[in-house]
A and B are shown apart, each in its own frame.
Chain A
Amino acid sequence: MVIDQLLKMYPSAKVVTSPNWNDQLVFNYHIADKWISISKDDVDDKQNKLLNLISDHAETEIINSWWQFLNHRSSEMPLASKKIDKIKVVQFHVDDLESSEYSNQWIRAFSSFFERVVDSFWVNSEYGILILNNSEVFMEHSELVSTVQLLDEDFGTKSQVYIGQTWPLDENVPEIFKLEKRIFSQNDGDPVSNLSTDVISFMFNQSLANEKLFITLKNIITSNSEYISMIRSLYINQNNIAKTSKDLYVHRNTLLYRIDKFNRETGLNLKSMDDLVLCHLLLC
C-alpha cells in the first residue's frame, strides 16, 4: 500500500532487494518490510526527514558483526570479543562528508585518537560506530570537543559524537545500546555528548518539559541572559563561588550580588543545591 503510493509519488523510486550504500545518488529507506531507493534529486531535505520517520531505519542491512550483535540481530558475540570483557560504544553522526573516499579517511582519523579500537564502521553514509575496548583513561570533554573541531575543519564536515558508557560485554549490551542510540538521536547539536550530559534533559523532555509550571518557571529564570551563564557555571563548578567567579571573569562580590538579585527576582536561592539543580534542569 504505502510502497505503491511512494512509487507513484516518486517516479525514480525503486524497490530493491538490498540497498547499495555506495550509490551516492540515491536515498534508501526500509518501509513496510521492503527496501526502497529514491533518487536524491527527487527528495528535498524535509521530505527526506519525513521518509526517514516512516522508514524503520535504513541502516538495518549492514553486515558488520558488531552491528548485528548490538541490534539483537545475532545472539552471537563478534569473534574479536573473546578477550574483551568491557566495551564502550562511540556513535558519530557526520554531515557534509563529500564522498565515500573521505568517509574512510574520516573514520581512520577519528579512530587515531583512541587507543584500543576494536572495530570501526559506518552504518550508513552519515552514521557510524567505534567499538572501544574498555580504556581506563579517557579523554576529557574539552579534548573531545577539540578533536571533533579538528576533523570538521579538515574535512569540512559538521559532526556530533556520543560517547557511550563502559559496559561489561554480555547479553545486556544490545538492550543498553538501544537507549544510548535513542539518547544520541535526541541530542540537538552538541558536538560531544554522553549519558551524563544528556540524561537529565532526556528524561525531562520525555515527560515534564511541556507542563505549564515548568514553562513558566523557565521563562522567569531565563529573563536575563546573565542568569543562564551564571546557573550553568555554578552547576559545573559544583556551587563553588570562587571557581565560578573566575570562570565568568567577574569579581566574587559581583557574583554574590547577582545570586542575591536572582533570589529576589525568582525566589530561588542558587546557593542551595536543590534550587540550583532545579534551575539547571530547566535550562536543559
Chain B
Amino acid sequence: MVEIDLNHIYKKYANAEEENSYAVSDFDLHIKNEEFIVFVGPSGCGKSTTLRMIAGLESITEGELKIDDELMNDVVPKDRNIAMVFQNYALYPHMSVFKNMAFGLKLRKYEKEDIEQRVKYAADILGLTEYLDRKPAALSGGQRQRVALGRAIVRDAPIFLMDEPLSNLDAKLRVSMRAEIARLHQRLHTTTIYVTHDQTEAMTMADRIVVMSMGEVQQIGTPQEVYVTPRNKFVAGFIGSPAMNFIDVTYKDGVITDTEGLKIAVPEGRAKVLEKQGYNGKKMTLGIRPEDIHAEEAFNETWPNSVVEAEVVVSELLGATSMLYSRVDGTEFVAIVDARDYHKPGEKVKLSFDINKAHFFDIETTLAIR
C-alpha cells in the first residue's frame, strides 16, 4: 500500500533569476495505490523537476510531499524507498548482468539468498535469464534497457519513477517496450509515475494523465477525460494526433462564422450553452478534431447546415483513412476521412463539421466553454 500526496508544490532553481520564475508551480495531486500516472507536456514544462523532487534529487521550494501521510520534504533519497529509471542510464562495464542488478542490494547488505531470488525473479519477468552471465557490452540496446529496469525491480520498492525511459530507443523497440512496461505494471502493481513528452505514450499507458505546460498543471484526468473534455485550449491541442484544429470564430444566433468565409450552424444544445454563458455575438476559438470532420455523403445529408465547401491543399493516403489538409478561403484545417473519400490536391470537397463533438474556448482565458 502506498499513496503519494503532492500538496501545492513549487520549485524555484537557485539560479532562476526572476522573482517569480518557478520551474514548477502549485503542483497538486493525490496518487492512489497502484496507480500508473503519466506526466506529459512539452520539453521544459517541469516534468523531470517534479519527478526529481519526489525522488529527493531536487529540493522542494514550497509545499508538501507526503508518502503514506508522512512528510518527505527533508528525507534523503535513499530513505524514500523509491526506484528510478532514467532516459540515460549506465551499467557497470565489468560486471555481469546478474551483478549489475545485485550490486545495490549487496551494498545495502541484503542476504545472499534474498539477492539471488530477487535478481532471478526480475530476470525472469524481463526475459533476461539466459543473459545473466553476460557483460553489458555483449547486450543489445533493448536488453540493456531491460537490465536498467531490472535494477529498479529488484529493489522491490513500492514506487517507480520513470523519466522518459524509452526516448533513446528506436521507434519499433519503443512500441514493444511500452507494452512491456504496461505488462510489468499489471504484474507488479507498483505505484508508478512515468514522464514523457509523447502524448501517444501517455494515452496508451496511463491510468491518469497529468498534462503540464510552463510549470503548471493544465489538467488531470483519465486518457478519455483529457481527450474528450479538455479543460483548455492547450490540453485540447496537445492531446490527440494529428492535433485538433483551431479556428477563431464569432458566434451569433445559432451560427458561427469566421472572417474568411466559414459559416456553420451550431446544434441547439451547444448553442444554448454558449448563449447562457454570455457568448452571443462574441468571439471565441472553435476546436475540432480531424476525425470529427466528415466527408461521407450520408453525414452531409443529415447535417446540411454544417457542411463547408473546401479545397484540398495536401492529401495523404494512410491505408484505411486519408488525411485531407483543406482550406475554406483563408481558413486551413486537417480532416481524417475514410480512404474512399480521398481527394487529390486542388480538388473541391464537401466536408461537414460535427459540431456536437467540437469544443469552444474563450479567447482570453483559453478555457473551454461549458
Say yes or no: is B15 at the interface (Cβ < 8 Å to chain A). Answer: yes
Please count how many residues in chain B sit with their CB below 8 Å of the partner chain's CB atoms: 31
Contact between B43 and A225, CB atoms less than 8 A apart? no
The chain A residue sitting closest to B14, CB to CB, is A188
Report whether A147 and B42 are in contact in the complex, using a CB–CB cutoff of 8 Å. no
Query: Is B89 in contact with A150, judged by CB distance below 8 angstroms?
Result: yes
Residues 86-114 of chain B: 1 if any A CB is under 8 Å from the residue's CB, otherwise 0?
10111111110000000110010000000
Residues on B with C-beta less than 8 A from A150 are 89-92
- Which residues in A have their C-beta under 8 angstroms from that of B151? 153
Set of chain A residues within 8 Å of B94, measured between Cβ atoms: 112
Taking a contact as CB atoms under 8 Å apart, the answer to whether B42 and A250 are in contact is yes
Asked whether B90 lies within 8 Å of A143 as measured between CB atoms, the reply is yes
Please judge, given known A-B contacts A112-B92, A229-B43, whether A105 and B15 are in contact too, CB under 8 Å.
Answer: no
**A153 contacts B43, C-beta separation under 8 Å:** no
Asked whether A142 is an interface residue with its Cβ less than 8 Å from the other chain, the reply is yes
A89-122: contact bitstring with B at CB < 8 Å (1 yes, 0 no)? 0000000100000100100010011000000000
A156 in contact with B92 given A105-B107, A249-B43 (CB within 8 Å): no
Residue of B nearest to A247 (CB): B43
Q: Which residues of A contact B18 (CB under 8 A)?
A: 219, 222-223
In whole Å, how far is A273's beta carbon from the nearest beta carbon of chain B? 22
Is the C-beta of B290 less than 8 angstroms from some C-beta in chain A? no
Q: For residue A158, which residues in chain B have a CB less than 8 angstroms away from its CB? A: 77
Chain A residues in 8 Å Cβ range of B95: 112
Q: Assuming A155-B107, A156-B78, A250-B42, is B214 touching A226 (CB within 8 A)?
A: yes
Q: Is the CB of B42 within 8 A of A225?
A: no
A-side interface size class: 20 to 34
Check B23 for interface membership: any CB of A closer than 8 A.
Answer: yes
B71 contacts chain A at the CB level, 8 A cutoff: no
Are the CB atoms of B78 and A142 closer together than 8 Å?
A: no
Q: In the complex, A146 Cα to B91 Cα: how many Å?
A: 9
Determine the residue in chain A with the shortest Cβ distance to B197.
Answer: A249
The answer to whether B43 touches A248 (Cβ under 8 A) is: yes
Residues of B with C-beta under 8 A to A109: 92, 103
Beyond A96-B76, A154-B103, A155-B107, is A248–B42 a contact (Cβ under 8 Å)? yes
CB distance from A250 to the nearest CB of B (A): 6
Q: Which of A188, A222, A247 has a CB less than 8 Å from the CB of B21?
A: A222
Please pick, from B23, B77, B84, B197, the residue contacting A225 in the complex, using a CB distance under 8 A: B23
Q: Could you tell me the dominant secondary structure of chain B's interface residues?
A: loop
Indicate whether B44 reaches chain A with its CB closer than 8 angstroms.
yes
In the bound complex, residues from chain A placing their C-beta under 8 Å from that of B23 are 225
Which A-chain residue is minimally distant from B91 (CB atoms)? A150
Q: Which of A112, A146, A156, A222 sits near B86, CB closer than 8 Å?
A: A146
Q: Does B169 contact A (CB under 8 A)?
A: no
Give the residues in chain A near B364, CB-CB below 8 Å.
none
By a CB distance below 8 angstroms, the chain A residues around B107 are 102, 105, 154-155
A247 to B197, CA, bound (A): 11
Shortest beta-carbon distance from B154 to chain A in Å:
11
Shortest A54–chain B CB gap in Å is 25
Task: Say yes or no: is B165 at the interface (Cβ < 8 Å to chain A).
Answer: no
Supposing A153-B104, A218-B17 touch, asked if A249 and B91 sit within 8 A by C-beta, the answer is no
Min C-beta distance of A89 to chain B, whole Å: 21
What is the chain B residue whose CB lies nearest that of A139?
B90
Question: A96 vs B77: C-alpha distance in the bound complex, in angstroms?
Answer: 11
The answer to whether B287 has its CB under 8 Å from any CB of chain A is no
Interface centre among A147, A225, A226, A250, by most chain B C-beta atoms within 10 angstroms, is A225
B318 at the A/B interface (Cβ < 8 Å)? no
User: Can you add 17 more A-B contacts, CB < 8 Å, to A105-B107, A142-B88, A250-B42?
Assistant: A96-B76, A96-B78, A112-B92, A147-B90, A149-B88, A149-B89, A156-B76, A158-B77, A219-B17, A222-B16, A222-B21, A225-B214, A228-B21, A228-B44, A229-B43, A247-B43, A250-B43
